Structure 1
Amino acid sequence: MAKSGVLQYAVQLDSVTKKYRSGRNEVHALRGITAAFPTGSFTAVMGPSGSGKSTFLNCVAGLDHPTSGHILLGGTELSGRTEAQLTEFRRDRIGFVFQAYNLLSALTVEDNVTMPLRLADAPVDHQHLSFVLSAVGLAEHRTRRPNQLSGGQQQRVAIARALITRPDLVCADEPTGALDSRTGRQVLALLRQVVDEMGQTVLMVTHDPVAAAQADTVVFLADGQLAGELRAPTPEQVAERMTRLGEA
């Protein structure tokens, strides 16, 4: 079920800056970021604390407005859109996976997964729903509620919810941060699977070199600027690069 006729790049940033006030100081969270992420790729974003990782992800996902520059997601310019337009855009075209699962305890797995469609007053494609639930290993748990699931299973529900709208981009912010190492590896393998088998594009912020090594490419940020990248990374290469960035 990989997409056909898609654009070469799911996300493009052109000279993106982000400034904000902190007391009397002006903080430059992003400094002229220019980058492009291919459709159907898995990219990890890493950097020391305060490097701009969260601001970067928030701007790409339309959760925050860049001060200047341009961001295209799925070929659509995000700049200049109203909050209402951005809210609709995020709901329809971006999937989110956070450290916290953000599931509604009163709803079943199936109802949690289809929540974005119901909020958009859109019909549920039951064939696609079954496909997504099977892909994340939840086909037999669709009528269960979150408190009947393990932490790893709850994160799988969150990933299924992110996939149900066939988004242009899945944004994952520390998706294994609340999981033990074994369960975390399973969730990372699932993210790898949705890229390889479903043609999704995943952009993941993480501090974990082992998690980052699941990605095709690791992009490093430092002081709000791009500070290099690694393709086909190993955990050791990622850790060594992070050590150098921390020393710098």
Structure 2
Amino acid sequence: MLENSPFVARLGDATKTYGRGPGAVHALQGVSVDFTAHTFTAIMGPSGSGKSTLLQVAAGLEPPSSGVVELAGRDLSGLSETALTELRREHVGFVFQSFNLMPTLTVAQNVELPLRLAGRRAGRGRVQEIVERVGLGGRIRHRPFELSGGERQRVAIARALICKPAVTFADEPTGALDTHVAAEVLALLRESVREGGQTVVMVTHDPVAAASAQRVLFLADGRLVDELVAPTAELVAETLTDLAERVRACPV
């Protein structure tokens, strides 16, 4: 439940600094952004721009150094680690480039794992339903080593969606996949938004992947510097090129 908020996640003037003194790294510098329910947002920027840090802070995996972070209608400041863990289990799904599947578990067991960790059981047929939805109905008893990279990522998406999260955070979900398989994975993420009512926030370096989203946010040096709505791959690539030139012209 989102406590009547139209936003599943939001950052208000959020900063994140690692270290102190002259060697401090300012990964986020005054970032304010809202992620509205039932939308697909991509986050892009040069290496070291703060993309993954933004994702981790928005997901409650890293606390901000200052500013406000809200997730599923809850202000994260002051929450204990136990409360944060419970909030993420209830409202957040994760998809990573490395899949993060348990090698000894079957597809069905991997998909059901978040529910079991939360002390819940999947409804009758729910695991089968969601595994079929990602196109792996015939491989439900297979283990990860018996699957291709694309199939493993499909399992990871099914696992992220099994709890019907308010938001799914995806960090380079197609980075280890070939072009054809990556397109299938992106189609699944789009479908989860369009038909499943999910919200997806995805970090990517690929303009084609970013063009699957409804909007693209661009970061540089820990700041939000641009945004595209209804992007195309060509426009995303052009914006990235312009951004790289601006960063070279005005180094920190």
TM-score by length of 1: 0.94
Q: Which residue of 2 aligns with 1:198?
A: 196
Q: Of 157, 164, 167, which aligns to 1:166? A: 164
Q: Which runs of 4+ in 1 moved over 6 A?
A: 3-6
Q: Which runs of 5+ in 2 are unaligned?
A: 247-252
Q: Of 67, 74, 77, which aligns to 1:76? A: 74
- Residue 135 of structure 1: CA displacement? 1.6
Q: Which residue of 2 aligns with 1:85?
A: 83
Taking the aligned partners of 2:173 and 2:91, their CA distance within structure 1 comes to 19
Q: Which residue of 1 aligns with 2:179?
A: 181
Moved more, 90-99 or 120-129: 120-129
Aligned identity (percent) is 53
Taking the aligned partners of 2:114 and 2:54, their CA distance within structure 1 comes to 24
Taking the aligned partners of 1:99 and 1:136, their CA distance within structure 2 comes to 17
Q: Is the 8 A contact 1:6 1:39 kept in 2?
A: no
Taking the aligned partners of 1:172 and 1:59, their CA distance within structure 2 comes to 13
TM-score by length of 2: 0.93
Q: Of 38, 43, 52, which aligns to 1:40? A: 38
Taking the aligned partners of 1:120 and 1:100, their CA distance within structure 2 comes to 23
Moved more, 67-76 or 82-91: 82-91
Q: Of 96, 99, 106, which aligns to 1:98? A: 96
Q: Which runs of 5+ in 1 are unaligned?
A: none
- Residue 4 of structure 1: CA displacement? 11
Q: Which residue of 2 aligns with 1:229?
A: 227
Alignment coverage as a number of residue pairs: 246
Taking the aligned partners of 1:35 and 1:41, their CA distance within structure 2 comes to 13
Taking the aligned partners of 1:68 and 1:134, their CA distance within structure 2 comes to 43
6 and 39 in structure 1: CA distance in 2 versus 1, 3 angstrom threshold: farther
Which amino acid is 2:168 matched to?
V
Q: Which residue of 1 aligns with 2:131?
A: 133
196 and 177 in structure 1: CA distance in 2 versus 1, 3 angstrom threshold: same
Q: Aligned-residue CA RMSD in angstroms?
A: 1.7
